[in-house]
Amino acid sequence: MKATAWIAINVFRESVRDKVLYNLVFFAILLIGASYLIGQLTAGQDVKIIKDLGLAATSIFGVFIAVFIGIGLVSKEVERRSVYSLLAKPIHRYQLLIGKYCGLVLTLIVNVSIMAAALYVVLAYMSWGVPPAAARIWDAPALDPALLKATALLLAELTIVTAIALLFSTFSTPMLSAAMTFGLYIVGHFTNDLRNFADLVDSPAAARLARGLSWALPNLAQFDVRADVVHGLPVSFGYMGLASLYAAVYVAMLLAISVLIFSRRDFK
């Protein structure tokens, strides 16, 4: 456990020294800041636009961080042979993998928190000095705590994306891992459509296949509550709990498969 935490801390240290990460966070904050300007162009909808664009930027750059750092977590270690010295230490292979995963999740938590804080700063600036009468037409208050719910669910989604990237990186090249992770990320937002498709097709085989895939592939759409939050619709803690449980089970499954592959792998 101690070794796993130690590996996780080292991954975090590696990430915060990575220029790519700084660039991504910088652009995310830039985009969140720019949403203020775009908000100015829309009469009465400015807060909504800022929230929408800010959350979207946080989501997109969060996925970029998860994928681009996640795909290198193991493959870079193997490619550069640093894994040789590491595995000679008194650790199990699964500890290395879990430590790497936890380190990246820690990095994501910190970065998504920074982006969320940037969004709140922009919203605070926007709403500063706005008379209460004008603020009443907004669907939700500018500094709505519900934004944190959307951010928390985004983080839950990113834990799945990271686990997918890690899984591919245990046996594939970084390029292929990136392509496959992005592919699954996109498909993961349409698994409900796959389920609907199964109800529509006549062929029982195609229906079974579509239904099977809809259960096996990650259902990422459920983590996207941006529209509800922006429009002031409630997102219950029960819903959040269930979605988080789903993420935890799915991540555990992906990590188990990754461990199975990684613990049998030859490092030639």
Partner 1 sequence: MPALATFELTKDYAIGFWRKRPYRALDGLTLEIAPGEVFGFLGPNGAGKTTTLKLLMQLVFPTSGRAEIFGRPLGDLSVKRRIGYLPEHPYFYDYLTAEELLTYFAGLFGYAGAERRARAARLLDEVGIGAERRMQLRKFSKGMLQRVGIAQAILNEPELVIFDEPMSGLDPLGRRDVRSLILRLRDRGCTVFFSSHVLSDAEALCDRVAILARGRLAAMGRLTDMLPFRARGWDLVVAGVRDETVAALGTRVRRAVRLSDGHYMLDLPPDSPPERLVGELTAGGAHLVSLNPIRQTLEEFFVEHVTTPAAAGAPRDVEPPHGRRP
Residues that bind partner 1 in the complex, under the rule CB under 8 A: 2-3, 6-7, 10, 13-14, 17-18, 80-92, 264, 266-268
Report, in Å, the least distance between residue 85 CB and partner 1: 6
In this complex, which beta carbon is closest to partner 1, that of residue 8 or of residue 166? 8
Residue 100 and residue 12: Cα distance in Å, rounded? Answer: 9
Count of CB atoms situated within 10 Å of the CB of 131:
7
In this complex, which beta carbon is closest to partner 1, that of residue 15 or of residue 151? 15
User: Could you give the C-alpha distances from 54 to 30, 47, 162, 235, in angstroms and in order?
Assistant: 10, 10, 21, 18
Report, in Å, the least distance between residue 253 CB and partner 1: 24
Report, in Å, the least distance between residue 31 CB and partner 1: 27
Cβ atoms of 217 and 191 closer than 8 Å: yes
Residue 70 and residue 174: Cα distance in Å, rounded? Answer: 9
The structure tokens listed for 51 are 């929230």
In this complex, which beta carbon is closest to partner 1, that of residue 41 or of residue 88? 88
In this complex, which beta carbon is closest to partner 1, that of residue 170 or of residue 214? 170
Q: State the chain's maximal CA–CA distance in angstroms.
A: 69
Report, in Å, the least distance between residue 268 CB and partner 1: 7
Report, in Å, the least distance between residue 87 CB and partner 1: 6
In this complex, which beta carbon is closest to partner 1, that of residue 94 or of residue 246? 94
